[in-house]
Structure 1
Amino acid sequence: MIWSLSFDPLVPVWLLLTAAIAGAVVALVAALLRLRAWPLRAAAIALTLFALAGPAIEREDREPLSSIVAVVVDDSQSQTLADRAATAEAARAALETRLKALSGFEIRTIHAGRGDGAHADGTALFGALARGLSDIPPERVGGAVLITDGQVHDIPEKAAELGFDAPLHALVTGTADEMDRRLAIGKAPRFGLVGSQQLVTLQLQDRGLATGGDRARIVIRRNGEVIGEERVAPGATVDIPVEIANGGDNIFEFAADALPGELTDINNRVVVTIDGIRENLRVLLVSGSPHAGERTWRNLLKSDASVDLVHFTILRPPDKQDGTPINQLSLIAFPTRELFSVKIDEFDLIIFDRYVRRGVLPLLYFDNIARYVKEGGALLIAGGPDYSEGGSIYRTPLSTVLPAEPTGSLFEEPYRAEISDTGNRHPVTRGLPGSSSEPPAWSRWFRLVDSNVLEGETLMTGPEERPLLVLNRKEQGRVAVFLSDHVWLWARGYEGGGPHVPLLRRLAHWLMKEPDLEEEALRLTARGSEVIVERQTIGDSVGDIVLTLPSGETRLLTPTETEPGLWRASAPAPDLGLYAADDGTRKALVNVGPPNPREFTDVLSTTGTLADLTAATGGSATRLKDIGGDLEVPRVVSLRRAADYSGSGWIGFKSTDASVLKGIDRYPLFAGFLGLAILLGAVSMVWYREGR
């Protein structure tokens, strides 16, 4: 309860001030003239002016408010090491019990670190503290205590930036005898040409007691497979060459042997993801019999900036003689030896478009092409009537790699190409525009080479479900056979056309081993606060997938089919580091967070990082200790205001004077007859004294 004097003038303030000045002049003149009873006259004037000011006594009814103490618990990933999490929880419970025993204090518990986002770079306790106290007036804050390992990455430079004038304490988990080994990335490229070598710079750091010594082994893995190892001395920096094996993500994992007795081996591993970029893909296109769609393949491949096209059209076999002088011929001789013997391995894809055997290519060269395929090359046959005739390219040594054998029959009747059941699940033909309707919303074709599929997968069919597009893997290479030469009808827009661009482009890139078009693949990606597992298959079902977290913990995921041939599952990604998915046959990796996360830059617990800030507020940074199996938590005391809020074995919090106003009682001093009587009494005393 607070008493105070207030005023509510009965006349304007300017008039009251004018009257006060005039009254002071009258009183001064009377004093100078030594008039009888001048003191009484001055008192009467002052009392009258005081009454005109409307004085009143006010009584405020206030209810005191409790002081808020914030208990910030560090739930970051480094707090999960050793027994820090258990120590922090025990300290929190003991501290809250002691604070509840103090009168006038209220506890606000704030969990920070893990809740601030698994992918945040570092531990942000002070941001969480500010948010947790955002609805509390600063004058109500009695202090804050951080329960942490001391590895905090958003420490303010000055105590004034805390936003409150109260002590800050830190209770630090962990022990002073910890040691740890860390592998850090010094420099790593983001991109690299497929087949090239790139340098990754690594640093090996040992910290704490009893560190240093023998050279440590670093195991190198690419996409989960061991590709080599290096020996590095602690404290040294080493450049490790790695080869970019495929287009797309090449995930390199470097793992150093654990240091005996170290705190954790999580930061012994680092992950570098290098995007493999192919040099311009070299494609050899050989056109045989002239036909209406001869330029379809050429136009498509020339429109792709990543493709270098070499195109030859065979207009005249070498045995054709018509008497034209040589110096008048404008034709370029077909460089068969250079293309199919000397430089065949330089091509990523060879396409034969309606090729007919005319003696241009000796059979030996077809044998070279078959070898090229088996050793990792790609071959596409776009066949028409030529494929079913006696001069068919199938009647060469290429038959050993071709999956479709022509029967010799040719169907020439209108039909619409259909996607087979396998094709609906294959990335090359899945979801082609217009394929979802029945019949497909694209134009008709009028020719099909009847064939028997010997091996491989049929993705598209023609009339009576005869094979139209057949894909096959042959040893290390890939082969595709298109059993119609009417895809140009889609390109020309006949009857509305069809999706020739996505179909042919996907087909060419599948042949050239584009990772996104693999029909059997396991992929793992990070998206926000979770990881997404994708299993691509042309089979009818997939099994469970084991997800391994950076901590070594495993989770069993059961994918669900989101579209034909594509199965997905997701899981939270609570930790920074390398996640691995394994379906028993394939393995996929993804790194969550930055390559060198601040959370694991230094995992040794310390009081040094918070010592200056806590001291500036009168608080302290002390290490929690285990003595005889019992956790030692400082005593808690309440202080009004002090220079120091900590001492040996105790920490203090400020008891604030904050309160809330419940009501005000006002008692005017000159109200009613009492005020009138006082004024009349004063005037009467003046008249009486001057009348004598």
Structure 2
Amino acid sequence: MSFSFAFESSAVEWATAALFLLGLALLWRFLAPLPAAVRRLRIFTALILAGLLFKPVLSRLDSRSIRPRLSVVIDRGPSMQGKDDFDRARLKRAVDWILRHRAEIEKHAEVSLYGGAAGAHRLDWNELESLQADNAAFEPASVLSDLLSAGAPPERVWVLSDGAFENGETLAPALARLGSPVDALGVGPKRIPKSLSIAGIETPDFVFLHSRFETGVSVEAHRLEGKSVTLTLRHEGKILQKRVLQAKRPFEILRATFTLEAAALGSQDYRIAVLVEGDQDKRLRVSRGFRVEVIRQKYRIMYLAGRPSFEYSHLRAQLKGDPNHELVSFVILRNPEDVSPVPDNQLSLIPFPATEIFVKNLFQFDLFILENFAYYRFNLPAAYLENLKRFVAQGGALLIVGGENAFTKGGYRGSPLEETFPVTLLPDKDDFVTELFKPTLAAVDHPFLAVGDTRAESKALWDALPPLDGYARFSDVRPGASVLLSHPRAKTASGRPLPIVAVQEFGRGKVMLVGTDSTWRWKLAGGRDWKLSSFYARFWSRAVQYLTGSLELKKVKFSPLPERMPAREPAILSLRVFDEHFRAVPGVDVDLKVVWSRPDGTTTSPAHFEREPGVFQIELSELAEGRHRIRAIARYRGQLWGEDGVNFVWEGPRSDAPLNRRALQELSEPTRGEYRDLYRIDLQALLSSLPPVREEQAVRSRQHLWTWSGWLALAVFLLLGEWFLRRRRGYL
């Protein structure tokens, strides 16, 4: 025990005391005539008053030992349920090691215990034995951030883990904020068997049709140094690409990148297979599937018209004015039979590029439009129509717009292209009738005809349209074709209602036939009835969307998920919502409902939020092993817009997951900490890296002398003493 003496006075109080003593010195000559005893008494009193102005404090000190602050974090992620070489759970082994060495550790450090998963949870020693693994994966950056917010920053950190986590980009900033060394203690099997595993597949959720995109694959190879590892990428059972990589170290992450082209719309399934050449061990043959959603960026359209017309003028303007369309159009101004008084090389018209249109560039387009085009006039080879037929069969779209030269008279009867038509053609070339008529709805519930918000509104709009002028006659409707609009009176040669608009699928593509070239009259109708002002544009926009497959593409779509989800929480899903032009829809316009069906049959509505415009993130926690089903329903501007669902199987932790020393070294090395395997740790060497225990004087008690109540009694005593002396000496 020891004591210390100090003053707590402020600068003002110091100045007051100094002025008081200065005044006493100046008045000293007036005290000279007084007896010496009285002078001494007054000086003593003045000194006491001055000393009290300094506010003296007496402290009693005790000596104590200060141990360094040590934070011990035990990974309780799902992989810590896996077994070690002695058939013990890794989490149990880590807890037992800490408890076994508790006394020795506490001699050298002030220990704070934490269980780590998605964050750090403070533990006491009594809770340690009952510590259970969590379904959430260990996230080092979040854990380290929680250590800082828990109190005084630690001077050193121990992390007991098997390294089954991803460090990510947030780790380096978290380590910098921590500012303390981190020692990583590896918990896991001593022996690592030969094995291959697909650590990750990186690919975009959505890509545009005809665009190229990259897919990155990461493969973990254990004890395969010197071996050749083959990665094979398949699509629809066909081998697209192969990569052969060489493993050079006992543990290595092999990476390969595949460049692919989005050749078809919709969900495209791929599979990566990885194997070691010449080895039949099942652990060295793994595969995983993944899915990419292909959407359109723009519709590429070829428009070929047989002559200038109102239909060509209005339809071309409509297609060209849509930013989602990339249009190339040709109109025939002079047919081969037309006589010109000047040579061809003096004409300003370009020659008809038939080869470029029907052969060279055909497959670059999504939609091919033939409007009133007489094929026979140009003496084109039949192979050109055969190529156009193949274009449709392979997924292209074909739109045939009528006119007097469009069908039989145009030379299409008996041609390869007629096989794609939803109708059969008449043998009579005079197949076009000029008269006014109002088409009737033949398929009220077909999605293409839903030009209004409701069925009743759509029908009212169709009924309000002005009549069309002229239509083509046909022999019959092909089996499997759908008639959308029909003539109110005319019949086919077979006696069925005459199609005005009909569609059918051919191979992987679609064909639409419009038996009239007077739909431009619908556009003019908007001038007299505002309700019809946008009908023409909507009709043809939906025609393009229907033919190219976009009308059936979901406007509410989950991002593709792997076949099996790893044992990490939360599981994160992404959902996208598009408008009718496949642009992102802001969340303020979307009412989204999500239903999660668990393996045990229970359902709940998980939380979701808008991560970016049109992209919603859904997080699932407390997952159980088995199949999970997620269904999302979206309303846009008050209307039911669409829904989508995904299924996935959630896996339990891998009991054979190897000890990932590399991840643990990435955690410790930037902080000048150390990595050690738990089974061969030298505890004394580990403890020696802690800051030394230091001695410190601590204040046990403090006495503020200037607040002592006895000073008043002393003042009274001194005054009485002076009175007594003055009276005795005869000064009173």
Matched with 1:20 is 21
Q: Distance in 2 between matches of 1:41 and 1:277?
A: 103
- Backbone CA RMSD of aligned residues: 6.9
Q: Distance in 1 between matches of 2:272 and 2:552?
A: 28
Q: What SS is found at the alignment partner of 1:246?
A: coil
Amino acid aligned to 2:465: R
Amino acid aligned to 1:624: L
- CA spacing shift, 1:42–1:483, aligned 2, 3 Å: same
- How far has the Cα of 1:257 moved from its partner? 2.2
Over residues 52-101 of structure 1, what are the superposed CA-to-partner deviations in whole Å (9 max), with x where a residue is unaligned? 667688999xxxxx999755444668768776994236635885899899
Amino acid aligned to 1:174: G
CA contact (8 A) 2:363 2:391 kept: no
Decide which moves more: 183-192 or 68-77: 183-192
- CA spacing shift, 1:285–1:685, aligned 2, 3 Å: farther
Matched with 1:244 is 261
CA contact (8 A) 1:373 1:474 kept: yes
Over residues 124-157 of structure 1, what are the superposed CA-to-partner deviations in whole Å (9 max), with x where a residue is unaligned? 525433335426355xx69754333357566679
Aligned with 1:481 (options 513, 516, 531): 513
Q: Distance in 2 between matches of 1:660 and 1:573?
A: 62
Over residues 533-584 of structure 1, what are the superposed CA-to-partner deviations in whole Å (9 max), with x where a residue is unaligned? 8999xxxxxxx999xx9x9986342646658895412579999xxxxxxxxx
- CA spacing shift, 1:174–1:25, aligned 2, 3 Å: farther
- CA spacing shift, 1:77–1:7, aligned 2, 3 Å: closer
- CA spacing shift, 1:229–1:535, aligned 2, 3 Å: farther
CA contact (8 A) 1:148 1:173 kept: yes
Decide which moves more: 35-44 or 392-401: 35-44
- CA spacing shift, 1:418–1:532, aligned 2, 3 Å: farther
Tell me whether 1:221 sits opposite 2:238 in the alignment: no
- How far has the Cα of 1:283 moved from its partner? 1.4
Amino acid aligned to 2:506: K
Amino acid aligned to 2:445: D
CA contact (8 A) 2:57 2:706 kept: yes
Matched with 2:328 is 309
Matched with 1:498 is 534
- CA spacing shift, 1:652–1:406, aligned 2, 3 Å: farther
Matched with 2:604 is none
Matched with 1:595 is none
Aligned with 1:437 (options 440, 443, 457): 457
- How far has the Cα of 1:444 moved from its partner? 0.9
Matched with 2:609 is none
Aligned with 1:610 (options 663, 668, 671): 668
Q: Distance in 1 between matches of 2:522 and 2:682?
A: 79
- How far has the Cα of 1:421 moved from its partner? 2.4
Q: What SS is found at the alignment partner of 2:559?
A: strand
CA contact (8 A) 2:156 2:182 kept: yes
Q: Distance in 1 between matches of 2:302 and 2:649?
A: 42
Which residues in structure 2 correspond to 1:504-653 (within 5 Å)? 504-505=540-541, 507-508=543-544, 511=547, 524-525=559-560, 530-531=572-573, 555-557=627-629, 559=631, 566-569=642-645, 604=662, 606=664, 609-610=667-668, 613=671, 622-625=676-679, 646=687
Over residues 232-263 of structure 1, what are the superposed CA-to-partner deviations in whole Å (9 max), with x where a residue is unaligned? 32249998775525167988765432699999
- CA spacing shift, 1:212–1:135, aligned 2, 3 Å: closer
Over residues 469-511 of structure 1, what are the superposed CA-to-partner deviations in whole Å (9 max), with x where a residue is unaligned? 4333322543221244343234443433234445434544664
Q: Distance in 1 between matches of 2:445 and 2:542?
A: 18
CA contact (8 A) 1:510 1:517 kept: yes
CA contact (8 A) 1:529 1:573 kept: no
Which residues in structure 2 correspond to 1:333-344 (within 5 Å)? 335=352, 338=355, 343=360
Aligned with 1:353 (options 364, 371, 381): 371
- CA spacing shift, 1:193–1:134, aligned 2, 3 Å: closer
Over residues 399-438 of structure 1, what are the superposed CA-to-partner deviations in whole Å (9 max), with x where a residue is unaligned? 3210134797978444686974242xxxx66677787835
Which residues in structure 2 correspond to 1:17-166 (within 5 Å)? 17-23=18-24, 42-51=43-52, 72-74=73-75, 86-88=89-91, 91-92=94-95, 95=98, 109=114, 111-113=116-118, 125-134=140-149, 136=151, 145-149=158-162, 161-162=177-178
Which residues in structure 2 correspond to 1:381-460 (within 5 Å)? 381-383=400-402, 393=412, 397-405=416-424, 412-414=436-438, 420-423=444-447, 437-439=457-459, 441=461, 444-447=465-468, 453-456=477-480, 458=482, 460=484
User: Structure 1 length normalisation: TM-score?
Assistant: 0.61
Q: Which has the bigger relative contact order, CA under 8 A and spacing at least 6?
A: 1
Q: What SS is found at the alignment partner of 1:221?
A: strand
- CA spacing shift, 1:143–1:271, aligned 2, 3 Å: same
Q: Distance in 1 between matches of 2:465 and 2:643?
A: 33
- CA spacing shift, 1:174–1:373, aligned 2, 3 Å: same
Q: Percent identity?
A: 15
Amino acid aligned to 1:111: G
- How far has the Cα of 1:221 moved from its partner? 2.9
Q: Distance in 2 between matches of 1:16 and 1:574?
A: 79
Aligned with 2:186 (options 156, 162, 172): 172
CA contact (8 A) 1:292 1:488 kept: yes
Over residues 374-410 of structure 1, what are the superposed CA-to-partner deviations in whole Å (9 max), with x where a residue is unaligned? 4655421112576688768557553321013479797
- How far has the Cα of 1:230 moved from its partner? 3.7
- CA spacing shift, 1:689–1:220, aligned 2, 3 Å: farther
- CA spacing shift, 1:453–1:79, aligned 2, 3 Å: farther
Q: Distance in 2 between matches of 1:385 and 1:658?
A: 107
Q: Distance in 1 between matches of 2:138 and 2:281?
A: 21
Over residues 439-475 of structure 1, what are the superposed CA-to-partner deviations in whole Å (9 max), with x where a residue is unaligned? 4557614236677542456484467798654333322
Amino acid aligned to 2:186: V
- CA spacing shift, 1:357–1:59, aligned 2, 3 Å: same
Over residues 99-141 of structure 1, what are the superposed CA-to-partner deviations in whole Å (9 max), with x where a residue is unaligned? 899999896645344899xxxxx97525433335426355xx6
Amino acid aligned to 1:676: V
Matched with 2:302 is 283
- CA spacing shift, 1:41–1:95, aligned 2, 3 Å: same
Listed as ranges, the gaps of 5+ residues in structure 2 are: 62-66, 122-136, 489-496, 563-569, 579-596, 600-619, 652-656
- CA spacing shift, 1:622–1:274, aligned 2, 3 Å: same
Q: Distance in 1 between matches of 2:414 and 2:80?
A: 70
- How far has the Cα of 1:21 moved from its partner? 3.9
Amino acid aligned to 1:524: S
- CA spacing shift, 1:37–1:350, aligned 2, 3 Å: closer
- CA spacing shift, 1:149–1:325, aligned 2, 3 Å: same
Decide which moves more: 399-408 or 682-691: 682-691
Over residues 20-39 of structure 1, what are the superposed CA-to-partner deviations in whole Å (9 max), with x where a residue is unaligned? 345578899999xx978987
- CA spacing shift, 1:97–1:285, aligned 2, 3 Å: farther
Amino acid aligned to 1:625: Y
Q: What SS is found at the alignment partner of 1:136?
A: coil
- CA spacing shift, 1:144–1:690, aligned 2, 3 Å: farther
- CA spacing shift, 1:566–1:70, aligned 2, 3 Å: same
- How far has the Cα of 1:688 moved from its partner? 8.8
